[in-house]
Structure 1
Amino acid sequence: MLGSLDSKPKDLETIARSGGALRRMAARVPTYLTDLRENPAWLPMFLLARTIPFRKVHWLTAKRVRSSVSAARSMFDDLKGEAIAVELRRTGIFTGLTLPQAIQEEIARFGHETPCFGNFDRKLEFLAGEHEEAERRFGRTILSGHHFERILQCEAAVAVQEDPLLLDVARHYLGGEAKLITTRTWWSFPTKTASEADLSRASFKFHFDLDDWRMLKFFFYLSDVDADAGPHVYVRGSHNRRRMKHQLTLLVGHPADEVLEYYGEENALTLTGKAGSGFVEDPFGFHMGTLAKQTPRLMMEVGFGVSKPSKRRYHGEPVIR
């Protein structure tokens, strides 16, 4: 079961602040320009989808979905997509997902046996069990390791992304045009060499995702996650209301004290759980990944959206200048 613990997000935010927001935005310019060339519709989404009025207008275009029972059997037993969508509309998150043990173990084994790429860089390739040696070999702090498209070689991972419950939830929440955007697995590693610049990344701050007008993301822990293994934190209710200051800025990451003061510290849900536990959230709500302090965390994400996914690069992979 997923639960709530006090992971002290304010403490992490104190570490993470480095004042390099403009430098980080400048570094993303090549990625933004490439996105724009590939899909000109990306620009109005990027500029306007961060504002509540324009988002509400776009939600009005969602195709309605009738209640239906899929003929295909789900690995998640008797969970109902329509009921989960109701909870998502209310709080932005549903925490009652559990992978079958055999599925979880197969994906976890794949994650251990398949080389990953450190810090989104395909030049930094290593096995998760060799993380410390990889940091020495590459002379770099490595906080994450992504498998990118390699995860699609794992039959169990493909079975999860194709499970009928996930699409049913997505269609009831996002509308009938909801489609699978990406599946990914990645490691979060504890490290003793992280600098303030490393920790200033948006993923370690309260932020919201802005990859599409309407999105939904399913997350599954593939290793046990406690307070020292980098639990995910989500601010309930922040998906459908937004402080004006947080709408009229190009920044998606914001200080923890500022976020918690406005949206309520009591709404910050820290998600811990055993391997196989999962949740689904509207990523427009404020969330963050906390730093893995003692043990590495292996996690899986299955994302749905309503726009055409990029074929140029894998999810989260930056364009290097």
Structure 2
Amino acid sequence: MLDSRASGSKDLETIARSGGRLSRMLARVPTYWADVRENPAWLPMFLLARTMPVRNAHWLTARPAPSAAGTIPSMFDGIATGAVVAALREKGLFSGLMLPPAVCDEIARFANETPCFGNFDRRLEFLADEHSEAEKRFGRAILSGHHFERVLQCDAAVAVQRDPLLLEVAKHYLGGEAQLITTRVWWSFPTKSASDADISLASFKYHFDLDDWRMLKFFFYLSDVDENAGPHIYVLGSHRRRRLKHQLTLLVGHPANEVLEFYGEQNAITLTGQAGLGFVEDPFGFHMGTVAKQTPRLMMEVGFGVSKPSRRRFHGEPVVR
């Protein structure tokens, strides 16, 4: 369901939520340094891919998508690649994918039965239904729980990331060199332990992703998501234009009023729906995940890019010092 509404410890998330912009940048420095050491080509991408002239020039290097050798069965019946790509080019977002119930249920079962890691910290390991007890045990607010590489133990999750429709859409949108770079399953938890500053700052603000020159991300809700379960928000059309101020800063996150004033409040689309709902977006457009207020949100992401995949980012794990 699409709803056009504006959204009004030393682990990574705590650092990000407790300080200002400088604190958030400093918290990411170890991750950035690891990216540069692993792949020196990451640095020019990180510095230049935010500027529209250089970004548009890079899009011109995209190779044509190869012709399909034949119809390969997909779990997403009735979805036309051309329609998805057209929506992405115009709006940056396509919603209308739906996981088969058996697939959705199997991934959700895996996520409930497999321990996750709170706030990106592998020292904070617990089962999702033990969240409240985990906050007491570890003495801190826990707003997220990531499964990292454990997601590959779930056959249903692997089937989703390998579904031919996803790769076909990615190749026709990003270019023939598109490849899988990210697979994640994670929880967003409501918590009474977080301060008002914890809730209002950090990643719960509009931002754009800069993990590659050209990217595409598929998201699937694995639990019912309403306004109180941390729905995802995307600003339509913001992937095709960028305020000069947002091109000339190293920050990727910006205040909601600043983003909505320039890109249009009417373009802020809140995505809610039942478990199984899927959507795909160009993450260069402004987006954000909202805080889960009453019920946990379980979500899966499958991302595609055009550069050599990072071994560490494959599961979305940052470096924390």
- What is the TM-score with the length of structure 1 in the denominator? 0.94
Shift of 1:226: 0.4
- What is the TM-score with the length of structure 2 in the denominator? 0.94
Partner of 1:164: 164
Shift of 1:195: 2.5
- Structure 1 runs (4+) greater than 6 angstroms displaced: none
> 1:315 & 1:197 partners in 2: Cα distance?
28
Partner of 2:230: 230
**Match for 1:77: what amino acid?**
D
Secondary structure of 2:233's partner?
Answer: strand
> 1:293 & 1:45 partners in 2: Cα distance?
36
String of CA shifts for 1:57-90, please: whole Å, max 9, x gaps.
1000000125536432000012122221111000
Partner of 2:29: 29
From the superposition, tell whether residues 61 and 5 of structure 1 become closer, same or farther in structure 2 (CA, over 3 Å): closer
> 1:289 & 1:112 partners in 2: Cα distance?
21
> 1:315 & 1:199 partners in 2: Cα distance?
25
> 2:251 & 2:269 partners in 1: Cα distance?
23
Secondary structure of 1:239's partner?
Answer: coil
Shift of 1:110: 0.5
From the superposition, tell whether residues 314 and 17 of structure 1 become closer, same or farther in structure 2 (CA, over 3 Å): closer
- For structure 1, the residue ranges without an aligned partner over 5 or more in a row are 11-15
Alpha carbons 1:82, 1:168 under 8 Å: kept:
no
String of CA shifts for 1:246-286, please: whole Å, max 9, x gaps.
10000000000110010000000000000001100000000
> 1:26 & 1:196 partners in 2: Cα distance?
22
> 1:135 & 1:314 partners in 2: Cα distance?
27
Secondary structure of 1:4's partner?
Answer: strand
String of CA shifts for 1:110-164, please: whole Å, max 9, x gaps.
1111100000000000000000000000001000000001011000000000000
From the superposition, tell whether residues 17 and 134 of structure 1 become closer, same or farther in structure 2 (CA, over 3 Å): closer
- Mapping for residues 1-321 of structure 1, pairs under 5 Å: 2-4=1-3, 6=5, 8-10=6-8, 20-68=20-68, 70-199=70-199, 202-312=202-312, 314-321=314-321
> 2:185 & 2:144 partners in 1: Cα distance?
11
String of CA shifts for 1:193-217, please: whole Å, max 9, x gaps.
1135533654200000000000000
> 2:202 & 2:52 partners in 1: Cα distance?
21
> 2:264 & 2:69 partners in 1: Cα distance?
37
Alpha carbons 1:120, 1:316 under 8 Å: kept:
no
> 2:87 & 2:60 partners in 1: Cα distance?
19
> 2:122 & 2:76 partners in 1: Cα distance?
34
Shift of 1:34: 1.4
Alpha carbons 1:5, 1:272 under 8 Å: kept:
no
Alpha carbons 2:31, 2:318 under 8 Å: kept:
yes
> 2:38 & 2:216 partners in 1: Cα distance?
23
- For structure 2, the residue ranges without an aligned partner over 5 or more in a row are 9-15
Shift of 1:33: 1.3
Alpha carbons 2:117, 2:126 under 8 Å: kept:
yes
String of CA shifts for 1:219-258, please: whole Å, max 9, x gaps.
0000000000000000000001000011000000000011
> 1:196 & 1:245 partners in 2: Cα distance?
28
**Match for 1:246: what amino acid?**
H
**Match for 1:205: what amino acid?**
K
Shift of 1:18: 6.5
> 2:313 & 2:181 partners in 1: Cα distance?
12
Alpha carbons 1:73, 1:164 under 8 Å: kept:
yes
Partner of 2:13: none
Q: Percent identity?
A: 74
